[in-house]
Amino acid sequence: MSKTVLITGGNSGIGFEMALALAARGDRVIIAARDEAKSAAAVASIKAAHPDAQIAAVKLDLADFGHIDRFTEYLLKRVPVIDVLILNAGLYTLKLHTLPSGYEAMIGVMHFGHFRLVQRLLDAVVAAPQGRIVVTSSVMHKLGRIDARSFTNPKKHFSGLQAYGQAKLANLLFTRELARRLKDTRVTVNAFHPGAVATDIYRQVPAALRRLATAFMLTPKQGADTAVWMATDEKFKGVTGKYYVSRQRRRGSAASRDPELAAKLWQLSERAMKAS
């Protein structure tokens, strides 16, 4: 049976490969991404490969809470049920970048932007026969620690790696806590690490270093494999709150399994949403 799938950051990298694979299966796929030209090119590419594909794109800027609200209002009028929600959009900044909202960009987009999006779309996922939420985390979560002060007041000696690790740890904590909150529904929530994948996320890394590093990385198609599996395989019907790497369940760091930390981050996130 055809499913409705929404993928954030689905116009390039592993997100594009997810969209391609799921559209090829016959699912109705919606790419939600900020760059409209890139999204249009992604839709055209998928249509060229699969002329009957049900594929569309809608602009979504996860850095702007107001835009997220307008996006979800527009979407829900047209798509009242979402079978699979893939939270994949990501970024990496070498230097400190602050969003207009005041948040450091990586935590602002990858955690708070997705948190706001899920708040607005959750009822549509719950309405599905067996809703699934798939979250792109990273093994880099092991480098992160949750420092609420750094969300809007990063240290002078900013570390892109630590900030990225914090955002990916937040993704995993969000997965665990959301799964706990939805335990009495049919919805499952799981996260995965795509592997070291050669994608545009490394565009801020110096060109020579980028070429050297990406030469040994997985292709975006390989990186998307676990997410597509989690989104489609029947065995995930009752599996929730878990973390996977290369289709294998992994524990993740001790911090990522801390229920008190997950609950605290959730409370901080809810307060942030009310204040925005």
Chain centroid offset of residue 73 CA: 20
Specify whether the CB–CB gap between 80 and 29 falls below 8 A.
no
Kindly write down the DSSP assignment for every residue of 134-202, as one continuous string.
EEE--GGGGG----THHHHS--SS--HHHHHHHHHHHHHHHHHHHHHHTTTSS-EEEEEE--SB-SGGG
Which residue is it, tokens 């002329």? 51
Name the H helices within 11-64: 13-24, 36-49
Specify whether the CB–CB gap between 23 and 17 falls below 8 A.
no
Among 103, 164, 202, 244, which one carries the catalytic annotation?
164
Classify burial at 188, counting beta carbons within 10 Å of its beta carbon; exposed 0-12, middle 13-18, buried 19 or more: buried
Which residue is it, tokens 């990186």? 223
Q: Is 92 a catalytic residue?
A: no
Catalytic residues: 164
